[in-house]
Structure 1
Amino acid sequence: MSSGKKSKALKPKKKCCADKPRCKRCPIRLLAEGKLDPATAKEIFAKDRNRKQAKKAKLEIPSC
């Protein structure tokens, strides 16, 4: 029997909590690392608060 762990894809949070350092599920962190699907990013960053946080982090948000 193998005792290895199965890795799951991280699901991003729907709202950025703006903590520093960023948590593992932060949509801004996942976007910066290139792990966030563009369709999901559009949905998450449609909200004004998340868009402001991404601009503050100097990230390019996928356009509509």
Structure 2
Amino acid sequence: MGKGKKVKPKSKCCESKDRCTRCPIRMLKEGTLPEGYTVKKRKLVKVKDLPKKDQKKLAKVA
């Protein structure tokens, strides 16, 4: 994993106690999650695939 490379997150959190570098929950917390993605119920999801009401909530937070 080079310094300039973007790391693709895993599609699902492995729920280990010490989180790996590709964990979507860890990436969300650190702010390194790619744009257009979020985490719901420990799974990586695209914002466009969410219902409209959830998209509006995320837009207010961001």
**TM-score, normalization: structure 2?**
0.56
Q: Runs of 4 or more off by more than 6 Å in structure 1? A: none
**Structure 2: any 5+ residue segments left out of the alignment?**
44-53, 56-62
**TM-score, normalization: structure 1?**
0.55
Greater length-normalized contact order (CA 8 Å, ≥ 6 residues apart)? 1
RMSD: 2.2
Separation (CA, whole Å) in 2 of partners of 1:6 and 1:37: 16
Give the letter aligned to residue 17 of structure 2. Answer: K
Aligned length: 44
Q: What is the percentage of aligned positions where both structures have the same residue?
A: 45
Greater radius of gyration (CA):
1
